[in-house]
């Protein structure tokens, strides 16, 4: 049954499977990528047919599936290149149909659950993230407009790009929803002279962000609080949220944008940067939901825009980044691999394999799957931003020139 299953779905490259008895079987049309994997337990046959999205990652984590020839990245490249054939398989269509009614429950994120979901991932050791992120700990899609930037350069350009779309002025009050380790808030406070409040549900990130604000001398202009966006009541000139909307949950989209509108001054500007999908609404990969981002979901633009429209907000700009996150993840995975022994000392071998799978799988989802990043600029008034986009490039060039003069 597994042989028939793989013969039907492997549509790219060549996959060689070594069974527990040592038998080798080849699947696919041939060519690159060429990968050999070994299955160590016969129980995997049934699991991989029933739910490969969940059990493939678990098997790699547990060591019951190992990559013998080629790399994990090659293997996941091959797997994601065949995802359309997998989705057409009767077993997968049945599983997806049965799972659809559960997606609202899976993404139900009231305050208590939101805090637990955030802690699951973002309250891991700060030293872990230092081993693969840039020095500013930007844990979201970098921006590679030229294509040859280093990770550090691309993350700096991402911050400038976001700041440009916010049309910041000195003294403005800015809210950063999901402020992480504080890098964007500090950048805005320093480069634009704005007063920024960053809110997060991660105690680990909050502690680091507060320390950074003090050390940088920006404590008067950048402050951070442990606070859910639903508990915020002040009003702001600008609101920005990067990499947080994926954790809101579909059933909470209406409330999110109504809250955002209420927190925004009449002539204010908001900017949402998040991972989405270019296809109709779907479900979160079950392995990713179970082990990496519980409660997380990458929405279709149709789901987001419907909630924006009902909230009565203007969509004044949308930009879609298709491969920038793939390049970001590739560099994160490279740095993680280079520091793997240190990660293993913090945690264990299974954790290392889990994160290897996570980083490489997500890269290939951007390269071969329907996943992308969107930036949506929102306002309450139609004339809150210029009618044309030239101001974005002008702002970025001005910041770049200032940085070059300082250097």
- pLDDT score, position 237: 98
Tokens representing 289 are: 């939901």
Alpha carbon separation from 52 to 36, 48, 187, 331, 363 (Å, rounded): 17, 4, 42, 26, 18
In degrees and rounded to multiples of 5, residue 363 shows phi and psi of -60, -45
Chunked mean pLDDT (size 10), the chain, 407 residues: 83 93 93 95 91 94 96 95 69 64 65 75 85 96 96 97 96 97 97 96 94 96 96 97 95 96 98 96 91 92 98 98 98 97 93 97 96 98 94 86 65
- pLDDT score, position 82: 79
**CATH code, 2-103:** 3.30.1050
- pLDDT score, position 47: 92
- pLDDT score, position 96: 67
- pLDDT score, position 321: 98
How many residues can be counted in the chain?
407
- pLDDT score, position 361: 97
CATH architecture of 107-406: 3-Layer(aba) Sandwich (3.40)
- pLDDT score, position 102: 63
Active site annotation includes 362: yes
| 314: alpha, beta or left? (left if phi > 0; alpha if psi -120 to 50) | beta
Domain ranges of the chain: 2-103, 107-406
- pLDDT score, position 72: 97
Cα torsion 350, 44, 15, 337 to 10°: value is: 0
Strand partners, 321: 373
- pLDDT score, position 221: 96
Q: At what angle do helices 183-192 and 151-166 cross, to 10 degrees?
A: 60
CA atoms of 106 and 397, how far apart (whole Å)? 43
Query: Beta strands 195-200 and 264-277: pairing type?
Result: unpaired
Contacts of 71 (CB under 8 A, 6+ apart): 35
CA atoms of 129 and 119, how far apart (whole Å)? 14
- pLDDT score, position 7: 80
CA angle at 34 for the pair 80 and 359, rounded to the nearest 5°: 40
């Amino acid at each position: 049954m597994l042989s028939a299953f793989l013969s039907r779905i492997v549509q790219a490259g060549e996959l060689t499977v070594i069974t527990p008895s040592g038998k080798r079987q080849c699947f696919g049309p041939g060519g690159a990528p060429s990968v050999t994997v070994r299955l160590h337990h016969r129980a995997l046959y049934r699991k991989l047919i029933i739910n490969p999205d969940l059990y493939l990652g678990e098997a790699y984590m547990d060591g019951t599936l190992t990559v013998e020839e080629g790399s994990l990245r090659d293997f996941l490249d091959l797997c994601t290149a065949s995802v359309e054939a997998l989705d057409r398989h009767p077993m997968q269509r049945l599983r997806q149909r049965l799972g659809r009614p559960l997606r609202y429950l899976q993404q139900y994120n009231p305050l208590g659950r939101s805090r637990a979901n955030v802690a699951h991932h973002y309250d891991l050791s700060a030293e872990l993230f230092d081993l693969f992120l840039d020095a500013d700990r930007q844990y979201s899609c970098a921006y590679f407009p030229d294509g040859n930037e280093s990770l550090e350069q691309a993350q700096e350009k991402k911050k400038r790009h976001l700041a440009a779309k916010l049309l910041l002025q000195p003294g403005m009050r800015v809210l950063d929803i999901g402020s992480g380790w504080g890098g964007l808030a500090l950048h805005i406070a320093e480069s634009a002279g704005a007063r920024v409040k960053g809110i997060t549900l991660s105690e680990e990130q909050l502690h680091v962000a507060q320390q950074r604000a003090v050390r940088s001398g920006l404590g008067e202009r950048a402050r951070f609080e442990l606070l859910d966006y639903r508990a915020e009541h002040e009003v702001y000139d600008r609101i920005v949220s990067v990499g947080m909307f994926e954790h809101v949950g579909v059933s909470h989209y209406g409330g999110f944008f109504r809250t955002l509108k209420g927190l925004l001054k009449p002539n204010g500007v908001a900017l949402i940067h998040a991972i989405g999908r270019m296809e109709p609404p779907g479900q979160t990969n079950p392995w990713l939901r179970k082990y990496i981002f519980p409660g997380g979901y990458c929405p279709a633009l149709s789901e987001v825009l419907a909630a924006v429209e009902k909230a009565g907000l203007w969509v004044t700009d949308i930009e879609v980044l298709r491969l920038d996150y793939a390049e970001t993840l590739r560099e994160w995975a490279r740095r993680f691999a280079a520091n793997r022994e240190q990660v293993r000392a913090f945690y264990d071998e299974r954790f290392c394999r889990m994160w290897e799978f996570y980083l490489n799988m997500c890269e290939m989802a951007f390269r071969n799957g329907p996943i992308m990043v969107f930036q949506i600029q929102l306002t309450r008034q139609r004339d809150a931003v210029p009618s044309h986009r030239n101001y974005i490039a002008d702002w970025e060039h001005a910041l770049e020139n200032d940085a070059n003069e300082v250097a």
